[in-house]
Every structure is written in C-alpha cells, then in structure tokens.
Chains A and B, each alone.
Chain A
Amino acid sequence: MTTVASDLHAKPSWRSARSAIMTGLMVAAVGAVALPLVAVLWAVIERGASVAFASFPDFFTSEIPVISRRAGPGMGPAIVGTFLVTGGATLLSVPLGILGAIYLNEYGGTRKLARAVRFMATVMTGVPSIVMGLFIYIMWTMRFGYSAFGGALALAALMLPVVIGSTEQMLRLVPSHLREASYALGATKSRTIIAIVLPAAAPGIVSGCLLAVARAAGETAPLLFAVGAATAYNPSLFDEANTSLSLQIFGNATSSFAAAQDRAWGAAFTLVLLTFLVTFIARVVTARFSRMR
C-alpha cells in the first residue's frame, strides 16, 4: 500500500513549475486589470466623498451655484436631471431593444429583415456618441429647444444597439431543450418565449441593460447639445433646459476655480454612488424574480 500511495505524491517536475508560472501570470493579469479600476474608484472617493458629505445632505439637495467660483453645494438639479435623462433613455431603449432582440433571435433567424436589423445595430454601436448628439441636435433640439428629453433620445439611440446585442446573446444561450419541453406540452411559440425563454434569460438581460444604463448615465458628449445648462431644479422631461451630473462634472472640472473643481469631484462621486445603487437594486430585484434558477 505504501508504494501505491507514495506514487500518488506529486513529483517536482516541469509540469508543476509551469503550472506555478501560469498561475503567477494570471494573478498578475488580474492585478493589472484591477489596478486602474481601484485607482479610479479611490481617487473619486477620496476627493469626492468629503465634498459630497460636507454638511449632509446639502450637496445632494441644494441647487447649483449660478456663479461657479463660489464655494459650496450642491448638485440637486443635476441628480434629478440625470434621473430624467437616463430614465427616459432607458424607458425608450430597453423595451424596444428587448423586443428587437426577441424578433432577431426567435423569429428573424437568417431572414433578410433580420440580417438588415442586425447589421444596422452593429453599425449603430460604432457611431461616436458626439455624432449621435449632433444628430439629435439637428433633428430635435433645433425644433423643440433644450430639454431632458432631447438628451434621453440621444442616449436611447446609443443604448439601443447595446441592449439588442446583449439581449440577443442571452436569448441564444437559453438551451433548446427548454424550448422543446415547452413545445411538447402544447405551448405556442409566443407562450414559450414569454413563460420559458425570457425568465431563463432574465438575469443576463438585466445585466446587459444595466451595463448600457450605467454607460449612458456617464455620457456627456451627446448631452452637450441637447440638454442645455440649467442650475435650478427642472423636474420636467420635455420643457426647458436641464442638466445632468455628467454635464456638471465636465463643466466644473474644466473651470479654473477650485470651488468648481471640488464640486466636479463631488458630482463624480455622486454619479458613481448612484450607478452602484441602481445596479444593486436591480440585481436584488432580478434575484428575487428568478430565484428559481
């Protein structure tokens, strides 16, 4: 017995050395990827948190100082504006994108229309966001003036191909044996999609949409032309100029006044915090809905 057991002991060899090297390289790669991420988060928290939480909750509720050289809070209107613009864009793009992906994956297949839509979506992913902003400026803002909705349109156009792409990917991953089980019970195609395919793909679809929302929430260029530059609260989606956290970060960070730069850091911190909160809530909700996985 002892001989057999000792045969099982690993012998020092080129194989285990190679394994160690590869493991080391992998750890290094993970570190290299994580480093910038941690650095960015750290910078934002270190410089932003103190600004945002000074005399809490003023920074989150006060209006933006009209004269940017003055020190002090806040970012209230920008938070509302971000919710309006990003929320509007989400309402426009997510339902449309999911329906489009359902068409592409479940009905379109390799049909001409499906191929055309897929091609357009790919092309749209490549359109620079500032070009999209310019397009909305011409098509919308020049006619109807500044509004949160113009920004929502621009962001929706940017989000749509991302939502379509990621949702189609997730639908494709739903194993065919689940569909077949549903068909074999006499379910129609639409019933199968609604009751089996979508719930099975839901966590992935939500992840994809969240990624699109988080990216859109930080977009600045397409909003420059469409949203305007308000400093007071504007709760209306359709009327008058509005503002957003990303626009405020841009505006204040490029200012030469220290007070404004501080506000930019505070706004950056607020944006990261909001994105994190929204992601967290969405995850909890999906986990609850698809606990049966």
Chain B
Amino acid sequence: MTADDSHDDIPVQRAAPRIGHRGSGDPQVAIDTPVVFDLEDVAVYYGAFRAVRGVAMKVLKNQITALIGPSGCGKTTLLRAFNRMHDVIPGARVTGKLQYHGIDLYGPQVSATEVRRRIGMVFQKPNPFPKSIYDNVAFGPRVNGTKNKIELDAIVEKSLRAAALWDEVKDRLGSSALGMSGGQQQRLCIARTIAVEPEVVLMDEPCSALDPIATARIEELMRELKSRFTIVIVTHNMQQAARVSDRTAFFTAELDSANDRRTGILVEYDVTQKIFSNPSDERTENYITGRFG
C-alpha cells in the first residue's frame, strides 16, 4: 500500500456538522472544517473498572486539540482509544460511538494495524527502538512496504528535518538512538511517527521529560506540523495547552455511583481561548486558576 491510495477506503466526511459548544459561537472554525474524530458517549474500561465515561467531542482536521485535567482523570486512557492501543492491553475495552471520518473505529471490519498506520502516537516517555537513528525512522515505512533504499533515505531525511533534528544527527544516522539526549529522543519519536505519513498524531505529554528549550522546540514543531496533520495532545502544562492548541477539552475525575470508584468525565470542550478566558463550567475555572482541590 502506498501513501497515495492509503486513505481511499476511509471516506473523508467533508460536510461536517456544526461543532460550536452550545451556541458559544466559534469564530476560528469555518463551518465546513472536516471532523476527524466524532465521539459520543465513549467509555473505556479496564476489566470491570470504568476509567472514563460519557465522552462526547469532535476533533477537527488540521487543528491541535489539547486534553487537560488532573492526574488520573483518564486523558491517556482516552487518547489510546483513538488509535486502538487498548487492543493490546488484556481486559481493556472501549464502548460507545467513536467514529473516524464517519467510520466506526471499533467496527468488525476495521483492522487495528490499518488504524494505527493512519493515527500515529508519540508516548509520554521517549521510547526509541534500540536500533540506529536511521532504522528508527525507517521502521514505519519499512513495515508499510517501502524497501527502496533511495526512497527510504529520502523519507528519513524529510522526517528528521520536519522534527527539527536533521542538523543534529545527519552525521551519525548509523549510531544508536539510545545515545541521544531525552529531548532528541522525543523528537526522534516524533520523526518516526510522521515518517509513515499518518493523518493524525496523538501525543501523550510529549514534553513532560524535557527542559523549556526542548519544549519550546517541540511546541514550534507542533505548530508547523499542524498544516499537515491533525494533532491531539495530552498535557499537564496549561500554558502549553493555551499556547499551542486550538481547542481544549477539560476532564476531571468524579466518584462513579455505579462502582464507587473515580471515573474520568469530560467537563468542557471548547475553543482554547474561551476555556482559558471565560470557561462556562465552574470546575474548569477552578482548575485553570489553580483552585483545584
């Protein structure tokens, strides 16, 4: 399968429904911005434990969507539902409606590998393979059938350039990725992810292990990548969410009367500016102003 025909079997839903938050008005978003993910009443379970429930939101194409909220409210859990990473955890399951361009991601015909090829993921902890820098970036394209050395070289260079890493590593592509700094490793993981030309890049706290300079670099990178990819990012850093994202979803954990355990819920989802200047929910306001209990 080549990059050109890869999106054929998932029709792009052009005429997206209006997404403004309860008539909040949405000046930044044109009415016809395509919806990439459409969630309704999504819940994720680990065995009998319901980690998040009742999530309804729409993720828009070529936007950066930030997921924020206190620790343990299920941000990672929800993020992993977007590219079926829960399939590899025994006992984990996703319920509700989770559509990707109008297709049920968890439908019986849908292959998790195909899903993950289109929806890439950058993890919280940099996790390069114990291979050379080159082989790390080339892994995804190779898995997807690119064997031609010249083609691979081109992809590797392009991806490393896009991740603002090329100049630092171009002379040592053959050396181990584990010999890089944490920030370089994380940018390598980003390069590795975009090397397969996904449509969506999911990022789980990509800067949590990085210093402010490396963080600024990755934020800049995200803004650049936005024109080519749709980005969903989990972050604990509210300034970061405010700086880079177009829309922000605030989650919190509440006691679930069903089983007496804390379950994550989506409190508010809106344009980032609105969330940080004039949130409609008191819990959001308390959290972003640091009054969270």
- Hey, which chain B residues are within 8 Å of A291, CB to CB? 176
A179-B88, A292-B135, A292-B176 known; A186 vs B140 contact (CB < 8 Å): yes
How far apart are B192's CB and chain A's nearest CB, in angstroms? Answer: 7
Per DSSP, chain A at the interface is helix
8 contacts between A and B (CB under 8 A): A178-B127, A180-B88, A185-B139, A187-B140, A199-B131, A290-B130, A292-B131, A292-B178
Which listed segment binds B: A17-25, A160-168, A188-196, A270-278? A188-196
Q: Which B residues, 101 to 152, have Cβ-Cβ distances below 8 Å to chain A?
A: 112-114, 116-117, 120-121, 123, 125, 127-132, 135, 139-140, 143-144
**Partner-A contacts on B (CB < 8 A):** 83, 85, 88, 90, 112-114, 116-117, 120-121, 123, 125, 127-132, 135, 139-140, 143-144, 176-178, 189, 192-193, 196
Q: Are A180 and B192 neighbours in the complex by a CB distance under 8 Å?
A: no
How far apart are B23's CB and chain A's nearest CB, in angstroms? Answer: 37
CB nearest neighbor in A for B84: A183
- Hey, which chain A residues are within 8 Å of B144, CB to CB? 186
Q: Are B132 and A184 neighbours in the complex by a CB distance under 8 Å?
A: no
Taking a contact as CB atoms closer than 8 A, the residue among A177, A183, A184 that contacts B125 in the complex is A177
By the criterion of a CB under 8 Å from any partner CB, how many residues of chain A are at the interface?
23
Q: Is A109 located at the chain interface by the 8 A CB criterion?
A: yes
Assuming A184-B193, A185-B196, what are 19 further A-B pairs, CB within 8 angstroms?
A109-B90, A177-B127, A181-B123, A182-B129, A183-B116, A184-B85, A184-B121, A185-B117, A186-B140, A186-B144, A188-B143, A191-B143, A196-B129, A199-B130, A199-B131, A290-B130, A292-B132, A292-B176, A292-B178
Q: Are B131 and A184 neighbours in the complex by a CB distance under 8 Å?
A: no
Q: Are A184 and B83 neighbours in the complex by a CB distance under 8 Å?
A: yes
- Hey, which chain A residues are within 8 Å of B131, CB to CB? 199, 292
Q: Complex formed: what's the CA distance from A167 to B189 in Å?
A: 29
Q: Is A210 located at the chain interface by the 8 A CB criterion?
A: no
How far apart are B289's CB and chain A's nearest CB, in angstroms? Answer: 35
Q: Is A112 located at the chain interface by the 8 A CB criterion?
A: no
How far apart are B243's CB and chain A's nearest CB, in angstroms? Answer: 25
A177-B123, A292-B135 known; A186 vs B129 contact (CB < 8 Å): no
- Hey, which chain B residues are within 8 Å of A191, CB to CB? 143
- Hey, which chain B residues are within 8 Å of A186, CB to CB? 113-114, 116-117, 140, 143-144, 196
Q: Complex formed: what's the CA distance from A182 to B131 in Å?
A: 13
Q: Are A292 and B85 neighbours in the complex by a CB distance under 8 Å?
A: no
Q: Is A200 located at the chain interface by the 8 A CB criterion?
A: yes
How far apart are A186's CB and chain B's nearest CB, in angstroms? Answer: 3
A186-B114, A191-B143, A293-B176 known; A178 vs B129 contact (CB < 8 Å): yes
Q: Which A residues, 205 to 233, have Cβ-Cβ distances below 8 Å to chain B?
A: none
How far apart are A246's CB and chain B's nearest CB, in angstroms? Answer: 38
Q: Are B178 and A293 neighbours in the complex by a CB distance under 8 Å?
A: yes
How far apart are B256's CB and chain A's nearest CB, in angstroms? Answer: 27
Q: Are A200 and B189 neighbours in the complex by a CB distance under 8 Å?
A: no
- Hey, which chain A residues are within 8 Å of B129, CB to CB? 178, 181-182, 196, 200
Q: Are B85 and A185 neighbours in the complex by a CB distance under 8 Å?
A: no
Task: Please list the 5 inter-chain residue pairs (A to B) with the smallest Cβ-Cβ separation, ordered nearest first.
Answer: A186-B117, A185-B140, A184-B121, A177-B127, A187-B143
- Hey, which chain B residues are within 8 Å of A183, CB to CB? 85, 88, 112-113, 116
Q: Are B135 and A180 neighbours in the complex by a CB distance under 8 Å?
A: no
A178-B129, A196-B129 known; A188 vs B113 contact (CB < 8 Å): yes
CB nearest neighbor in B for A191: B143
Q: Are A185 and B88 neighbours in the complex by a CB distance under 8 Å?
A: no
How far apart are B193's CB and chain A's nearest CB, in angstroms? Answer: 7
How far apart are A76's CB and chain B's nearest CB, in angstroms? Answer: 43
Q: Complex formed: what's the CA distance from A180 to B193 in Å?
A: 12
